[in-house]
Amino acid sequence: MVPRQPPKSRSELICVALRSAILERALQPGMKLPEDSLGERFGTSRTIVRQALERLAAEGLVELRHNRGAAVAMPSLEEAQDLFELRAQIEDLVIMRLAAGLTAEQEAALEAHIAREEEAQSGPEPISIRLATEFHILMADLTGSPVLARYVNEVAYRCGLTLSQFARPHSTVCGIQEHRDILAALKSGDVVRAQDIARTHLEAVSARAQFKGAEINGYSYLDALEPYASGVRNSG
Amino acid sequence: MVPRQPPKSRSELICVALRSAILERALQPGMKLPEDSLGERFGTSRTIVRQALERLAAEGLVELRHNRGAAVAMPSLEEAQDLFELRAQIEDLVIMRLAAGLTAEQEAALEAHIAREEEAQSGPEPISIRLATEFHILMADLTGSPVLARYVNEVAYRCGLTLSQFARPHSTVCGIQEHRDILAALKSGDVVRAQDIARTHLEAVSARAQFKGAEINGYSYLDALEPYASGVRNSG
DNA sequence: TGGGATTTGTTCGTATGTATT
DNA sequence: GAATACATACGAACAAATCCC
């Protein structure tokens, strides 16, 4: 039973790895991303890395300065606020669709994810942070709309990046209970209430964040990247 | 007085050209986009064309099938509806910001655009179609928020693509009067009314569209592309 | 079915541009 | 301020997959 190898290209895998690394704050805003060291680390040539970086730049996670290399994007505070506002607006649509009739499978998927969040609570903090964002991405996926999935995915990742830049080190971004509340509201079928709860949740997340001024330093990103890279190398 | 050469890369210029071509329906959904012929047409190598195609694929305007080349995307009817719904939701934010206090420059810019739409009314239809979409993109630009500008831009272009696939040949997508109404509502400062008008406008556009089944044929895209290509070649 | 032609995926070398001493 | 070191931008060529007859 082959695990249904999805025909993902090598550069897509690198994208996924870098996105996770950014969301888990292993790669912090401002860190440089030279093509050849990444290529060496991921076991591929610069061309592939370049593709990945260009894609991430299109998504707003990476800044690509002409002839000056790539770096993890450093969104401004204004951008951060715009992103959260936009995200709430888009997720309204997601909530609306799910609340209109939550199937058993959808409910099970959301519960399974919350369970994983609970497990991760005792583990390393970056994992919890990533799972918290991915709960929202899962909701978007469950709508079955590629359009919603795509944009929630992108905006949520960018929000995660802004948190990495502006949030205090140990602010509790998680909010597992709030995810449980959202699920309950979805089950109730009350669209407006579900939207309210989700919106309040997002506002709480962004409010918990904006306290620390941006600080960029500490550069040993290559070691920080190792766990993400190995997954790509072993996939040939 | 040098016309301030914008530091746009060659591939970005090709992106812009292809986007315009798609929005003006010179490139229709399903048309193949071979790297070689595009490179020859734009006077550059395949590498650059490839970058542009990858970017357009990330934006959802182009479908990139592994080892099978690129083609203009063929969104499903469901996707089309999702895109218009999402677009209305995002543009709510745009309207909210502009209606909160429209400056003289913003007003002038919108009026100038409407004037151009009026001029184009007697000219070729594809230009009118493009200008109609770009009115919305201009509104997003005028908010000064790169985030809003970016996503309205992308979703609006994708909506234009869906219209190209599903709208009847000579459906009047334009609605210049509706744009005037939006501007008037923005000037009045009544956010809710402005949002209502904009939303109604978008619903009207998408309603005018969904009548024709998708039909793909007629392939002489190389000639159709010439006017877009020349602008790129002359920019070195 | 098979083979040739066409198109894409990838690598690598060179040129160009930027930062640094 | 000039020269050096470094990183990216671009293009030509090779290899692999697909398409078409």
The answer to whether the CB of B65 falls within 8 A of the CB of B28 is no
Query: Any bridge partners for residue B105, and if so which?
Result: none
Task: Kindly state whether residues B94 and B22 are assigned to the same domain.
Answer: no
Answer whether residue B43 is part of any domain: yes
Does the CB of A208 have a partner CB in chain B at under 8 Å? no
Answer whether residue A67 is part of any domain: yes
Closest CA to B188 of A89, B149, B196: B196
The answer to whether the CB of A74 falls within 8 A of the CB of A30 is yes
Helix (H) / strand (E) element for B65: namely: strand B62-65
Residues of A in Cβ contact (< 8 Å) with B145? 78-79, 82
Task: Kindly state whether residues B184 and B89 are assigned to the same domain.
Answer: yes
Confidence of residue A229 (pLDDT cuts 50, 70, 90): low
Query: Tokens standing for B62?
Result: 């182009």
Task: Kindly state whether residues A94 and A145 are assigned to the same domain.
Answer: yes
Residue with tokens 């469901």: B78
Please name the nucleotide lying closest to A33, CA to C1': D7
Residue type, B51: Q
Residue B205: per-residue pLDDT: 85
Task: Kindly state whether residues A60 and A127 are assigned to the same domain.
Answer: no
Quick check: A230 pLDDT over 90? Answer: no
Quick check: B141 pLDDT over 70? Answer: yes
Backbone region of residue A25 per phi and psi (left: phi > 0; alpha: psi in -120 to 50; beta: other values): left
In degrees, to the nearest 5, what angle opens at C-alpha B31 toward C-alphas B33 and B70? 35
Count of pairs with CB atoms under 8 A, one residue in A, one in B: 57
pLDDT tens, residue by residue, A42-73: 889 999 999 999 999 999 999 999 888 899 99
Of the candidates B55, B85, B146, which has its C-beta nearest A58's C-beta? B55
Answer whether residue B182 is part of any domain: yes
What is the number of other CB atoms lying within 10 angstroms of the CB of residue A112? 11
Task: Kindly state whether residues B93 and B172 are assigned to the same domain.
Answer: yes
The answer to whether the CB of A93 falls within 8 A of the CB of B89 is yes
Query: Distance in angstroms, CA of B118 to C1' of D14?
Result: 54
Q: Which nucleotides of C are covered by protein (CB under 7 A)?
A: 7-12, 16-19
Cα–Cα distance between A147 and A158 in angstroms, integer?
17
Cα–Cα distance between B104 and B102 in angstroms, integer?
7
Residue of higher predicted confidence among A7 and B187: B187
Answer whether residue B107 is part of any domain: yes
Task: Kindly state whether residues B137 and B21 are assigned to the same domain.
Answer: no
CATH of the domain at A218: 1.10.10.10
Query: Is residue B73 classed as helix, strand or coil in its secondary structure?
Result: coil
Closest CA to B233 of B4, B9, B10, B3: B10
Helix (H) / strand (E) element for B228: namely: helix B221-233
Task: Kindly state whether residues A89 and A145 are assigned to the same domain.
Answer: yes
The answer to whether the CB of B229 falls within 8 A of the CB of B31 is no
Does the CB of A7 have a partner CB in chain B at under 8 Å? yes
Give the total number of structural domains in chain A: 2
Query: Distance in angstroms, CA of A135 to C1' of D1?
Result: 56
C1' of nucleotide D19: residue with nearest CA: B68
Query: Is residue A235 classed as helix, strand or coil in its secondary structure?
Result: coil
Closest CA to A182 of A106, A122, A125: A106
pLDDT tens, residue by residue, A139-175: 999 999 999 999 999 999 999 999 988 887 666 666 8
Q: Would you call B151 and A151 a contact, using CB atoms and an 8 Å cutoff?
A: yes
Q: Would you call A90 and B85 a contact, using CB atoms and an 8 Å cutoff?
A: no
DSSP state of A26: S
Contacts for A54 with CB less than 8 Å, ≥ 6 apart: A64, B51, B54, B55
Q: Nearest 5°: phi and psi at A175?
A: 65, 50
Residue type, A183: L
Please name the nucleotide lying closest to B39, CA to C1': D11
pTM of the shown model: 0.88
Contacts for B196 with CB less than 8 Å, ≥ 6 apart: none
CATH of the domain at B171: 1.20.120.530
Quick check: B216 pLDDT over 70? Answer: no
Answer whether residue A150 is part of any domain: yes
Task: Kindly state whether residues A94 and A118 are assigned to the same domain.
Answer: yes
Query: Distance in angstroms, CA of A68 to C1' of C20?
Result: 14
Burial of B95 (0-12, 13-18, 19+ CB in 10 A): buried
Cα–Cα distance between A160 and A24 in angstroms, integer?
9
Task: Kindly state whether residues A32 and A102 are assigned to the same domain.
Answer: no
Task: Kindly state whether residues B84 and B100 are assigned to the same domain.
Answer: yes
Q: Nearest CA of chain A to the CA of B189: how many Å? A: 21
- Measured between CA atoms, the residue of chain A closest to residue B7 is A66
Contacts 24+ apart (CB under 8 A), A5-9: A7/B66, A9/B66
Expressed as residue numbers, the domain containing A62 is 10-74+214-233
Task: Kindly state whether residues B56 and B166 are assigned to the same domain.
Answer: no
In degrees, to the nearest 5, what angle opens at C-alpha B94 toward C-alphas B88 and B99? 120
Residues of A in Cβ contact (< 8 Å) with B53? none
Least confident of A98-112, B26-40, B169-183: B169-183
The answer to whether the CB of B162 falls within 8 A of the CB of B75 is yes
Query: Tokens standing for A131?
Result: 């799972």
Q: Would you call A86 and B9 a contact, using CB atoms and an 8 Å cutoff?
A: no
Answer whether residue B136 is part of any domain: yes
Query: Any bridge partners for residue A70, and if so which?
Result: A64
pLDDT tens, residue by residue, A93-138: 999 999 999 999 999 999 999 999 999 999 998 899 999 999 999 9
Task: Kindly state whether residues A81 and A65 are assigned to the same domain.
Answer: no
Answer whether residue B82 is part of any domain: yes
Answer whether residue A5 is part of any domain: no
Of the candidates A55, A60, A66, which has its C-beta nearest B54's C-beta? A55
pLDDT tens, residue by residue, B94-117: 999 999 999 999 999 999 999 999
